[in-house]
Amino acid sequence: MAKTTFISWNVNGIRAVEKKAALKWIDEAEVDFLGLQEIKAEADQIPESIFERDYKFQSINSSSKKGQSGVALYTDVKGLAMCCEHVDILDEGRINEYHFGDIAYFNVYFPNGQRNEERLAYKLAFYDRFLAHINELRSQGRSIVVCGDVNTAHRSIDLARPKANEDTSGFLPVERAWMDRLIENGYIDTFRHVHGDIEERYSWWSYRAGARSRNVGWRIDYFFVSDDLKGKIVDADILDDVMGSDHCPVKLVLDI
């Protein structure tokens, strides 16, 4: 058994983050799996200088819509990168699926539903397709690790102003109900598992009105694991001191 560290971060443009040298800390950290969301770049557009560490295995999934979405996975753990077109049906570059050992690991940039009703419907359908997919993998005997920007705050404790956002996509009852269902299906919100319901900490802040300096934020970035991994959770945290994006990284350590 060995401690394995996972980091998830919505970088809101990997080229913008590179200009701020905001990923250089990876060179000094012990990170076994690095999952980045909203990279907004093709594989050949990702600067080699984002960090010095040379991960052996990389998986880049770019959106068919140039300059939007996109996810990137970096690891030294040998595994198999899989395709997930039946979940990401619009080819928006939203999922890295990577199998190693008995674990299926997912780095996901879930859709945002704030644009209009059509996008909200797509977000909810994406949620349902994704849950069906990971449940199918569990039925085949795989353990599941899911990280990424879920684009929904689960409960009132997960955002600074719940009352003001009751009618906002990202905190709608129908979106939160899917997260209830995810947990009912046997997936653990690792941050709450470790820290309980006391800590009001966030992972995303609007760029407007100094929201981050005032800590008016939302917790929309998560690590979920299937409940068979519950006893292997060592730590889960929010790295809110890391700057460079409107999101901050989140962390999971498993003894696997």
The partner residues of 108 in beta bridges, in order of sequence, read 95, 148
109 has catalytic annotation: yes
10 annotated binding-site participant = yes
247 has catalytic annotation: yes
The catalytically annotated residue of 88, 149, 158, 189 is 149
86 annotated binding-site participant = no
246 annotated binding-site participant = yes
Going by C-alpha positions, the residue among 89, 66, 74 that lies closest to residue 31 is 74
Residue 164 has φ and ψ, to the nearest 5°, of -70, -15
The catalytically annotated residue of 122, 154, 189, 247 is 247
Residue 72 has φ and ψ, to the nearest 5°, of -140, 140
The catalytically annotated residue of 74, 98, 105, 109 is 109
247 annotated binding-site participant = yes
154 annotated binding-site participant = no
Alpha carbons 77 and 73: distance in angstroms, whole number: 11
Strands laid side by side in the 143-149 sheet: 80-82, 95-100, 103-109, 143-149, 221-226, 187-189
76 annotated binding-site participant = no
Question: Which residues participate in the annotated binding site?
Answer: 10, 38, 149, 151, 246-247
Question: Which residues participate in the annotated binding site for Mg(2+)?
Answer: 10, 38, 149, 151, 246-247
* Active site (catalytic) residues: 109, 149, 247
